[in-house]
Structure 1
Amino acid sequence: MKQKRRKKRKGSNRGVTSICFIVLILLVILSVQSQGLKEKLKVYAAQQEELQQKIDSETARTDEIKKLEEYKNTTEYVEEIAKDKLGLVYKDEIIFKPSN
């Protein structure tokens, strides 16, 4: 009987040892994958920052376009274009031309 008990104890010790070994291997695998995920997280954070900067620059550009559009609807813009491109002037304006 004592021999049977000893055999059972050795078998159960092997089982516990093998389970501990498997758990240890799983922990190593999880830690390696965790490092990989941390690296991906850093890359994604950098991409997010870059995209946020692009969004900010496009928002600023949109604001500039809206301001230019509002300016084009003013009489000041129409007068500027009429003077610069068409050469038109008011009746009471005096124009000085540079001599060549």
Structure 2
Amino acid sequence: MTYVVMDNCIACKYTDCVEVCPVDCFYEGENMLVIHPDECIDCGVCEPECPADAIRPDTEPGAEAWVEFNRKFSEIWPVLVTKRDPLPGAEERDGETGKKDKYFSEAPGEGG
């Protein structure tokens, strides 16, 4: 099993999860984070830290596509190990559905 970041992170990008990750497997895009599925040690400490409930185990229905999504972007985006402020408007977009089609950007974040 591994954990993946799903749709809820897009346009919010809360980073509470990166502070607790013991293996630094979070990678930063312009408007979301992803987890490298091969680096995740399945400890699960990040899941309850996410205010947007965007981190889920890969055993959940529909998670298979998100595993490949996380893998793809974790290989091209920079690693993030430092907590940052969420994106402007994160509270308003938290819980919104269909964010991947509306807001997702393939652009990398700053990392750090």
Q: TM-score with structure 1 length normalisation?
A: 0.18
Q: TM-score with structure 2 length normalisation?
A: 0.16
Which has the bigger relative contact order, CA under 8 A and spacing at least 6? 2
Q: Higher strand share goes to which structure? A: 2
